[in-house]
Amino acid sequence: MNANNKDHAALADEFNKDEPRVDWHDETLWFVRQKRDKAAARVADWEVLRDTASRIKDNVLSRLSEYLQQFEAAATANGIVIHWAADAAEHNEIILSLLRQHGVDQMVKSKSMLTEECGLNEFLEEKGVGVVDTDLGERVVQLAGEPPSHIVLPCIHKKKEEIGEIFHKHLGTPAGNADPQFLTHAARLHLREKFLTRRVALTGINFAVAETGEFVVCTNEGNADMGAHLADVHIACMGIEKLIPQRRHLGVFLRLLTRSATGQPITTYSSHFKRPRPGQEMHVVLVDNGRSAHLGRKDFRNSLKCIRCAACFNTCPVYRRSGGHSYHTAVAGPIGSILTPNLDMKKFADLPFASTLCGSCSNVCPVKIDIHEQLYKWRQVIVQEGYAPAGKKAAMQAMNWVLSHPAVYHTAGRTGRWVMAHVPFTVNNGLNAWYKQREMPAPPAASFGEWYKKNYEQQGKNTGNDKK
């Protein structure tokens, strides 16, 4: 449920009111998925790479505390200041205290889903600190007063005409101009002034190398580099699972990440940060926020392997047609649906049900997370823990009873067919959500079981195998 007590189904209903937008959203993300397929097919050892990445991450998760300490020691030796945050509140307070130490109330920030997860922008704005998101898509949704709807393509739900209106309102571009090149140029001018005047820059981290204490930030726009290189203070934030053991392992992950995300062979900028330049301060905030607890969940710990490529979003038929905001969480899509119940099982009890369990997410995941199996397991945990809606639970119990009693099942089937054939309005009416977007075929005269029994017996008689 979101703040307005709406669950995924209700929020998806809202998104579905604009059918052309749904079609366009669906087609655009499917196009990205196809680009991913072509990029993956060009790498002969793609499956070996996926397997290797998955095993490296297995190793990281089983020795996480060791690698974290190794990273801290190496980064500290490089001159980076390490901070530890147990949860979102601690993370936000650390950032605020760093800003206060430097007497700063404005900063630039490149894309970091962790800061979205921690609600950093809202927290800092309440404290009087202005944050400018410098990723173009993130700046668009920030100006629109919305959260990102996709972890790689934050404003994928917006049409260029809407972006033209937002820029006209906030950046003073001419009304009605929705030319993408013009709008990008306007954003560049607007952001350049911010880059040049902000003394603190915050970035995310894609990979942190335990062996060397360095970290890598991947962007297509160079905004993380621009912010970090111009600022006196560079703060980088990461979830504790973002570690990899050695620098050579980057060759595996960097090849997988962008091919899986957008179908590009490599991210435009894969920048390595190892130490602050002379006169600069560099801080890394290592954030737990439920990750240790997740690590202790045997069936679900693998989801911490995620490298946030969003391939599972782009392939998911439910995500593509329900939009990212319907997941009411920072990391939406299939991976968000298996990460968030760990953070708050009651609030996110709806998300594991927002799936067809088709398994397409697991098929494309570059680190081989068994996403659809975890979705199925979360459903069971949520029901056992009492967080499933009472109506759904009662219906499932009733169905369980019917399916366990063949005589009841056959009688129910016969009754259902009679009702649909003779008084269809009792089930096909405005109160039944199932019929809103479906046309049911005419009910058959007999069930498959009855048909099979009859034909099997007939066949038995014809071949002389009838035992009667």
User: Measured from the CB atom, is 213 or 334 closer to ligand SF4?
Assistant: 334
Q: What gap in Å lies between CA 45 and CA 108, rounded to an integer?
A: 39
User: Least distance from C-beta 120 to ligand SF4, angstroms?
Assistant: 21
Contact status: 366 vs ligand SF4 (CB under 6 A): yes
User: Measured from the CB atom, is 92 or 340 closer to ligand SF4?
Assistant: 340
Q: List the structure tokens of 375.
A: 């979705």
- Cα 313 to chain centroid, rounded: 6
Residues 310-339 that bind ligand SF4 (CB under 6 A): 310-312, 335
Contact status: 155 vs ligand SF4 (CB under 6 A): no
User: Measured from the CB atom, is 227 or 334 closer to ligand SF4?
Assistant: 334
Q: Which residues fall within 8 angstroms of residue 121, CB to CB, at 6 or more apart?
A: 109, 115, 131, 133, 142
Site string for ligand SF4, 247-266 (x = CB under 6 A): -------------x------
Q: Which residues fall within 8 angstroms of residue 233, CB to CB, at 6 or more apart?
A: 98, 102, 104, 199, 200, 201, 280, 281, 282, 283
User: Least distance from C-beta 212 to ligand SF4, angstroms?
Assistant: 23
- Cα 85 to chain centroid, rounded: 22
User: Measured from the CB atom, is 22 or 332 closer to ligand SF4?
Assistant: 332
User: Measured from the CB atom, is 74 or 151 closer to ligand SF4?
Assistant: 151
User: Measured from the CB atom, is 204 or 276 closer to ligand SF4?
Assistant: 204
User: Least distance from C-beta 338 to ligand SF4, angstroms?
Assistant: 8
Site string for ligand SF4, 282-311 (x = CB under 6 A): ------------------------xxxxxx
Question: Is the sign of the CA dihedral 153, 158, 163, 169 positive or negative?
Answer: negative
User: Measured from the CB atom, is 51 or 72 closer to ligand SF4?
Assistant: 51
Residues 160-199 that bind ligand SF4 (CB under 6 A): none
Contact status: 204 vs ligand SF4 (CB under 6 A): no
User: Least distance from C-beta 340 to ligand SF4, angstroms?
Assistant: 13
Contact status: 74 vs ligand SF4 (CB under 6 A): no
User: Least distance from C-beta 341 to ligand SF4, angstroms?
Assistant: 15
Residue from the set 39, 64, 136, 365 that interacts with ligand SF4 by CB under 6 A? 365
User: Least distance from C-beta 40 to ligand SF4, angstroms?
Assistant: 12
Asked whether 408 and 400 are in contact (CB, 8 A), the reply is: no
Residue 401: CA count within 13 A, CB half-sphere: 6
Choose one: 87-95, 130-138, 163-171, 365-373; the region binding ligand SF4 (CB under 6 A). 365-373
Q: What gap in Å lies between CA 93 and CA 466, rounded to an integer?
A: 79
Q: What gap in Å lies between CA 328 and CA 325, rounded to an integer?
A: 5
Contact status: 367 vs ligand SF4 (CB under 6 A): yes
Asked whether 249 and 305 are in contact (CB, 8 A), the reply is: no
Total residues binding ligand SF4 (CB under 6 A)? 15
CB atoms within 10 A of CB 25: 24
Q: Where are the beta strands (DSSP E) in 175-266?
A: 200-203, 207-209, 214-219, 233-239, 243-244
Q: What gap in Å lies between CA 36 and CA 456, rounded to an integer?
A: 48
Q: Which residues bind ligand SF4 (CB under 6 A)?
A: 260, 306-312, 335, 364-367, 369, 371
